[in-house]
Amino acid sequence: MTPSKLTRRDTTTTLNPGTLPGDRGVVLAAVKKAGFALHLAPAIFKNDREIVLEAVKNNSYALADASKHLKDDREIVLEAMKHDLAALEYASDDLKDERDWFLEALKREVRAHEFAGERLRKEHDIVLAAVRSRGEKLGDASERLKDDHEIVLKAVMNCGEALQYASERLKDDRDIVLKAVRDCGGALQYASESLRNTPEVVLEAAKQDVTALEYASDFLKTDSEFFLEAVKQDVWAIEYASGTLKNDSIFFLRVVEQDARALEFASTMLKNDRNFLLDAMKLDILTLAYVGKKLRSNRAFFLETAKHDARALEYLKIDLVFL
């Protein structure tokens, strides 16, 4: 590893401060070549603005060795974070809590919010900038800002799961919840009971992730019209229908018209219902691929299906010896 590639951690664990000569010209040349050399310079040069600025241009982590005074220098800190945002950790606490400067830092690098001072983390503009780049940072906001429509909306647009941190009032906000589930269907679990019972919202969630139907209201899971729409989007939506619907022959005949594969999740009783299956196979021969075990071994049933469609043998996979 060459000196110019060494990180601050590499140097501080192997070299001792003050090992560079007390010559300003030598130190300046050294930090231009390798910023970590500031760690080796006499203390007086760690308070030299030109030297420290050149050091952080070469190696952002040189900021750690700057004097307290220069860790409060706006230009030097911005230069350091330009090359590596993590160097902002070494800025002075006063600077990290200075609103105007921090907003400028955020314009250059939105992730800078991670290093904001405690006071700034409660400010609307700072939190807004934070959630725009990392929605989950809403979890660090004050209760007041978790109830701020603009902030929560930006948070869920970046990360739908951030809805879990929103106030109860905003979890019942249709616009916010729709934005959240369009980013992450599973965010539906954090929505209000009212919105988990709203077909438009739940269908949007299922469009992004069909497993989001797990979080639909119990009432909606019994709604046949809702599930017919859901199956149009994704046939596997039927898995999340109530047991009552999975045993409803009239409902399932309408589903088979759309996609017979949904029969995989029909009740065992329905899969062994002779009359239902005969009606269903007239709509789609694929129905016979889901015939229940009990009915599959029924010779009379097979012969009846074969009258309607000779392909029954293929779908029921019946050995000719059986006949």
Work out the pLDDT band at 88, boundaries 50, 70, 90.
Answer: confident
Angstrom CA distances, 28 to 46, 109, 116, 143, stand at 11, 28, 31, 49
pLDDT value at 61 more than 90: yes
Burial 214-236 (b: 16+ CB within 10 A, else e): bbbeeebbebbebbbebbeebbb
Q: How far is CA 166 from the centre of its chain?
A: 16
What's at 163, amino acid-wise? L
Please state the φ and ψ torsions of residue 214, each to the nearest 5 degrees: -60, -30
Residue 112 has pLDDT above 90, yes or no: no
Q: Alpha-carbon distance 128 to 123, whole Å?
A: 8
Res 293 pLDDT > 90: no
Contact between residue 122 and residue 116 where contact means Cβ atoms under 8 Å apart: no
Cα separation of 12 and 19, whole Å?
Answer: 12
Contact assessment for residue 201 and residue 185, using Cβ atoms and an 8 Å cutoff:
no
The pLDDT confidence band at residue 22, using thresholds 50, 70 and 90, is confident
Distance of CA 173 to the CA centre of its chain: 20
Read off the DSSP letter of residue 88: G
Domain boundaries, the chain: 1-90, 232-323
Q: Residue 129 — pLDDT band, cuts 50, 70, 90?
A: confident
Position 130 scores a pLDDT of: 85
Give the pLDDT confidence score for residue 86 in this predicted structure.
85
Its sign, for the CA torsion 212, 216, 222, 227, is: negative
pLDDT in tens, 213-241: 999 999 999 999 999 999 999 999 999 99
Name which of 125-134, 209-218, 312-321 the model is least confident about: 312-321
